[in-house]
Structure 1
Amino acid sequence: MKDILEQIAEDPASGDTALLQRLFGLLRPRYSDDVEAAAMRLEALAELLEAQPSHADALRERLINMLNQRRPFRLLIDAGILSERGFRLELGRRIRYKLLPPAPNSDSLRDWLDGLLRPGDRQWIAGMDQSLWVRLLAALHFEKLSPEGYDRLQDTITTAIRSLSHRIASGGLNPELLRLDPSLDAHASPFLSQYEEISCFLNRCQEYGVSSDDDAAHALVLLEQCEEALDRVRRRAHVAGISVELTYVSTRLGQEIGRLKQLLHMMEDRPLADKLTTLAGLIVELLSVSESRHDVRALLRTTTGRLANRISQHVAHAGGHYVAENRKELWAIFRAAAGAGPIIAIMALIKILLMSAGMAPLTQTFFVGLNYALGFVVIYMLHFTVATKQPAMTATFMVNTLTRIRGSSTDKRMLGCFIGRVFKSQMMSILGNLLLAFATAVALSYGAAWLLDWHPVSPDEALHLIEELDPFGSLALFYAGVAGIGLFLSGIVSGYYDNKAVYERIAERLARLRGPQRLVGGRIWKRVADYIGDHLGGIAGNVFFGFYLGIVGALGFLTGLPLDIRHIAFSSANFGYAWQALDFALTPKVFLLTTAGVLLIGFMNLMVSFGLAFYVALRAINIPPLAARRQLGRALLGLLVAPVRLIVQRGDLCSEAAAEKVANVQESASK
């Protein structure tokens, strides 16, 4: 470091940045997470500058020359702030730059920093104590800047402040914000008022200089009001729905307001130590965000997180209906699942007939998917349930409940009580689907053979169906996992369209259609529109899952990839059709193996869909990945241990007090 500082001191006015790059390279630790080593090196540099004021003056002059040559203005207003292109254009730009990186601009300070920094530098830069950066800045003695250098820096900051203030005023009139808060569409809007106040403040600064009696206090108050308005919009979005565009705009405005407040603090007449602290925070932030400039995942994480949270809340609300609190509710869940069993058996029979109809592959795929989709929609409209669709709902509800339990109590018995309820509710639902689908399939095939002398399934087809359910001699369990992914995605689709129905005001818009009103009457169409608005998510999720089941198998057939689906309810129905077609002549070994295959398929359906939904719900409420994995592991382990605990404790994991606590927590989580 000393040698580099001496070389800089030989020609401090040079615009060459090679020595600055070498100096920064000496600060970089060998491992990016070695914050202690980086702190020792930064402290050593500060000590050298404090011991040699001439070296500090030379380094300061070299830095100022570099800033003057490379336009820091764009860095101040763009780094760490979403662009004004909008989400779609920004996403497309980042994807293109991932495939083909942009050519660097030699005059851009931001591009120079991109070339200077490496992946992982953010860890040690942001991980160090900020007081070390303040000490380094103090050792450079920026208060000794020449009047010309000071004026150029102040002009840069002033221009950045004006630009950010203008952007905030324009963003405050965005239609997405005004839809949720119409009061912003007025001259008294803080977004507009802050621009006027900041313009007056900067004009006074240029004429008279900054004084303690003429600071930016009023402008900062208006910026705080802007932040309050954004919080108000976000709260209303939980009721009125949310979109990616709204999250993008509100996130960008929040970032711009934060940057503007930092720059205003730099302009205020405050003690030097306070200004250095603000400057150190700004430098660390600018260096830390450089690596995410073209990062697609960072953009998605920043802009879709709130939408994911809102979707998860819709899913959680639906999931609350699938967790029984008492024996009466358990039997209600069983009856709803049992009602779906015969419909599933009919859907399985129609699928078998379609597969043997000799249609073209694309036509066959469409009709198979349509069969599933219509069947699931009918089940939904009749208030029946498909058991394996529950985990994607109950997992999100479970996350909300577990986080409340974790924050409000350390009672392990309370946690066991809740997991036991989830397990028992799920098992009753599975039994309802499984038993009625199997029994209906046997009854239908036996009745058709006896009354109509028609066999829906031939013996050869029956043997093929039995082979497909072999858990060890086929890919049945893998295909069950593929079906579990579809179950998870259907929950996401359902939550997305529930949010969309609220955000787009679907019911009100449908009710305004003239044609349907003339066909069925205004009152009937109003009821239809209200039903669609209230149940759009459920309908869309079931349609998606139906076509998913129909398309995946066809995709595997057309591409030669090992892709297909196995679903416990349809597998039990297929088992029933095959068993009757073989005149109930299966050997005990084959019967038990096939039964085990059906149960293991159900286990894979549940674990995959539950695990994915649980993990996504944890991420949606901003639990770190490591903590999310631990929480997910504990939840899955709890569900696996639940049957053993229920047997050992004779079917009850809940004391009266624990049950009352869980009921209260479930109620608050569903709300």
Structure 2
Amino acid sequence: MGCIHAALPPSRHQQKNLPGLARRLSALIHADHLPDRMDAWLALNAWLSGGKLWDDVYIDSADVHGSATQRFAVLMDVLAANPPLAAALRRALRAILDETEGANLFGEVGIPSDRGFLSELGDRTTSKLIPSPRDDHDLGHLMSRSYPNRRDLTLIRGLQPSTLQRAVDLFFPKDEPEMTAALERAMADGFRLLLARVQGQGLSLKLRARSQPGPVARSPFKRLAQSGENLVCAWEQGRISGALLEIWGGDVVACREEMQMISTRLESEGISVDIVYGLDVLDRCLGRMEAIVAVMSTGREAPGPVLALLRQLAYAAHDSASLRHLVRSNLRRLQRRIVDRAGETGEHYIADNPGEYRHIWVAAAGGGLLTVGTAAMKMAIAGAGLALFMEGLASGVNYAVSFLLLQAFGLMLATKQPAMTAAAFAAIIRDRKGAERLDVIVDYAACICHSQLAATIANVVVVASGAYAFDATWQWVTGHSFLSYAEATYVFHALSPVDSGTVFYAALTGCVLYAAALIGGWVDNWAVYHRLPQAIAEHRLGNRFGRLRMIRLAGVVSRNMSGWATNVSLGLMLGMMPVLGKFFGLPLDVRHVTLNSGILSLATSALEVEWVGTGLLSLAILGVAVMFVLNLGVSFALSLWTAVRAYNLSRDDLRELRRRLWLRLRTRPRDFLMPPRRLGAATASTH
């Protein structure tokens, strides 16, 4: 280690770092076996990353890139000032390259497996739970071990081409071509692995069925395999030419055009996670091959392509173990599809002119009237003494039937609106840019606010008055109230936001409303992807009932599949949530503002007048108000968050959006309470 300290007159910062560097270089140079060399290399790489506690040295710099690059500069200075030390380090590096296989480094690292999304998800989950065995003979495994955390990439992010060129000259000098021979063979083999992956994935049935029709021989994925093999063979023989590069580049462009066509068809015909996964594999393979070809065509004299390939490998090694990266990159398209479908439904819940505003009042009043029967049936089921599971199932079916009737008659329930209307923002986020997009979103938010307020008031007023009328009729027929004294007392205590779980349950109900909207969008995507309407229209039952009837049925299914799935799933989740809570001993229950408004009215009419002065009624009414805020607020916030993530709305845009919303609320509060007087103000701006 003394030779390192004597190599140059170090600065104060370098003096602080030299002991740690010396120990790591000594361990790497004097390692006798491959596993020891690998461990020493990883220790040196970790030291170079900076910002970590290693031995007695800790760098805590605001510029993380700077600390990493400074350490790398120290290493380069030491090696440049001490040629024997540099030679010893090259021998250790060559020993690693001679004893390892590098094809997987270039052809496998960061490229998902061919077995599909679920298999890849399972493999990554297993690797998080169960330690993976070492494979010291695979350079790809070494790369993955080098970058397990994001902060391990600090050196790669901050490295400059000129600095990398200095490292290349030290580690792979021109007068020692044998140093690069192993890496060149590995790069050629990795390139061939990528060609095979592209051909196999591109010609798979799931992608070929959505590609441009034609013989397999003319497929760009097939042609790419041929031109790529010609290119790598020419490079190995030292006769790579511009003509070969041009042919290969044209085939890459054709492959990307084919992928774009498949992607466009997916957007209209339904998203499949497996197809999105396959497209992601193709995109990664093509990107890796383009980076390799850039190195092949420029050679060691141009450090830029080498650095680009090194960065791509490092980031791919890091992402290859990330569950979050896998899920986000492959489910974003499905997320957009679901958001878009929910947004189309949400447009029907927004009034931007007096005529539509009146329609919302009428439809919501009808929804409140229907909910009176739903609330009465719910209390009847609760008091029937059924088994726990049967009670939950009966309640869920009651809710589902009620929601389906709402859909069939064009009625509205306020709590079903937020998940739909927030998703409608996606069309604005997708189709507009800059300040214009934010202005339209503010207009849309005002429309949503006064539409939600109108629907909620109509729901609650009608369901409350309807429940009183129902109970009065029940007393006239039977001589007693619909609810018993004990049941009514329980309702008052259960709805209190102070001494019950109403606040948490109301927020949980908002999550259920959001989840139901997602399920509806997913089922609609599934039906479109599997061409369910077409299958119904062409079914053999048409020979018996008439082909025209089957076509009409297919149209009904196509228009209503999302709504049916949303309503049925919402009803069953609302009914089964309390049952699951009791079964598992968890605090799970639901508090739905419209349903509980009706139940509260039934309970109030069953009690004596003196109960009004006890404060229990006030607490119950406050609980209903809390349900209104949390049901609508939570479901709207979650849906808006989904839309923002699906279309990558930046944080700066979100901050500017909040500022503009507050400004509109202060200057024009009427817009959030009543529709604009001019016809179609918001809708015209969003289409």
| Contact residue 172 and residue 184 of structure 1 kept, 8 A | no
Equivalent in 440, 446, 450 of residue 424 of structure 1: 450
Match of 2:93 among 63, 84, 97: 63
Aligned to 2:3: none
What is the CA-CA distance between 1:195 and the residue it aligns to? 0.7
Corresponding letter in the other structure for 2:74 = A
**Cα deviation code 1:547-567 (max 9, x no counterpart):** 000111111222332211000
TM-score normalised by L of structure 1: 0.89
Amino acid of the residue matched to residue 109 of structure 1?
A: L
TM-score between both structures, scaled by the size of structure 2? 0.87
Between 1:340-349 and 1:194-203, the stretch displaced more is 194-203
Report the Cα offset of residue 474 of structure 1: 1.7
Q: Does 1:569 align with 2:598?
A: no
Identity %, equivalent residues: 25
**Cα distance per residue 1:100-125 (max 9 Å; x no partner):** 12211222223333444452334413
Alpha-carbon spacing, 1:415–1:568, altered in 2? closer, same or farther (3 Å): same
Q: Pick from 213, 229, 232: which aligns with 1:183?
A: 213
Q: Tell whether 2:47 aligns with 1:26.
A: yes
In structure 2, the CA distance between the partners of 1:396 and 1:213, relative to structure 1 (3 Å rule), is closer
Aligned pair 1:546/2:567, yes or no? Answer: no
1:74 aligns with 2:95: no
Q: Does 1:467 align with 2:467?
A: no
Task: Report if aligned partners of 1:312, 1:617 keep a CA contact under 8 Å in 2.
Answer: yes
Counterpart position of 1:259: 288
Q: Which stretch has the larger CA shift, 435-444 or 509-518?
A: 509-518
Q: Structure 1's 478 and 3: CA in aligned 2 closer, same or farther, altered over 3 A? A: closer
C-alpha separation in 1, matches of 2:38 and 2:348: 64
Measured at CA, do residues 215 and 57 of structure 1 come closer, stay the same or move farther in structure 2, by a change above 3 Å? farther
Cα distance in 2, alignment partners of residues 587 and 284 from structure 1 = 71
CA distance in 1, matches of 2:84, 2:242: 36
Where 1:80 maps in the other structure, the secondary structure is: coil
Letter in 2 for 1:99: L
- In structure 1, what residue type is equivalent to 2:581? G
Partner of 1:314: 341
Distance 1:652 1:471, change over 3 A: same
- Could you tell me which amino acid in structure 1 is paired with residue 280 of structure 2? T
Question: Relative to 1, partners in 2 of residues 1:122 and 1:335: Cα closer, same or farther, differing over 3 Å?
Answer: farther
Q: Does 1:500 align with 2:530?
A: no
Taking the TM superposition and a 5 Å limit, the aligned residue runs for 1:270-281 are 270=298, 272-274=300-302, 276-281=303-308
- Structure-2 separation of matches of 1:645 and 1:260: 56
* Structure 1 residues 6 and 348: alpha-carbon distance in aligned structure 2, compared to 1, 3 A threshold: closer
What secondary structure sits across from 2:499 in the alignment?
coil
Q: What is the total number of aligned residue pairs between the two structures?
A: 656
State the Cα distance separating 1:650 from its structure 2 match: 9.5
Equivalent residues in 2 for 1:193-232 (5 A)? 193-206=223-236, 208-213=237-242, 215-232=244-261
Note if contact 2:533-2:555 (Cα within 8 Å) is conserved in structure 1. Answer: yes
Counterpart CA distance in 2 for 1:562 and 1:5 is 54
Q: State the partner residue of 1:443.
A: 469
1:345 partnered with 2:372? yes
Aligned alpha-carbon RMSD (Å): 3.1
For residue 582 of structure 1, report the CA deviation from its aligned partner.
2.0
Q: 1:491 aligns with which of 493, 500, 517?
A: 517
Is residue 666 of structure 1 aligned with residue 686 of structure 2?
yes
Aligned residue number for residue 88 of structure 1: 118
Change (3 A) 1:249 1:628: farther
Give runs of aligned pairs for residues 617-632 of structure 1, distance below 5 A. 617-623=643-649
**Residues 446, 672 of structure 2: 8 Å contact kept:** no
Is contact 2:371–2:594 with CA below 8 Å preserved after alignment?
yes
Corresponding letter in the other structure for 2:477: L
2:549 corresponds to? 524
CA shift at 1:213, angstroms?
Answer: 4.7
Find the counterpart in structure 2 of residue 236 from structure 1: 265
Q: Decide which of 222, 232, 245 is 2:274's aligned counterpart.
A: 245
Structure 1 residues 359 and 132, CA, compared in 2 at 3 Å: closer, same or farther?
farther
**Which stretch shifts more, 124-133 or 391-400?**
124-133
Q: Closer, same or farther in 2 for the Cα pair 1:157/1:647, shift >3 Å?
A: closer
Structure 2: give runs of 5+ residues left out of the alignment: 1-17, 53-59
Check the 8 A contact 2:107/2:189 in 1, yes or no: no
Q: Distance in 2 between matches of 1:56 and 1:221?
A: 43
* Alpha-carbon contact 2:506-2:590 (below 8 Å) kept: yes
Whole-angstrom distance in 1 between the partners of 2:28 and 2:393? 75
Shift of 1:161: 1.4
Could you say if the C-alpha distance between residues 651 and 89 of structure 1 is closer, same or farther in structure 2, counting changes exceeding 3 Å? closer
**1:273 Cα deviation after fit:** 3.5
Cα 1:213–1:112 change in 2 (3 A) is: closer
Structure 1 gap segments, 5+ residues each? none
When residues 195 and 359 of structure 1 are mapped into structure 2, their CA distance, relative to the original with a 3 A threshold, is: same
Aligned partners of 2:339 and 2:423 also within 8 Å: yes
Q: Distance in 2 between matches of 1:411 and 1:370?
A: 41
Q: Decide whether aligned partners of structure 1 residues 53 and 652 sit closer, same or farther in structure 2, where only a CA change above 3 A counts.
A: farther
- Distance, in Å, in 2 between the alignment partners of 1:364 and 1:53 is 82
CA-to-aligned-CA distance 1:496-540 (integer Å, 9 cap, x gap)? 11211211111111233334763x544333322221122211101
CA distance in 1, matches of 2:301, 2:639: 49
The reply to whether residue 41 of structure 1 matches residue 43 of structure 2 is: no
How many Å apart are 1:11 and its aligned residue? 7.0
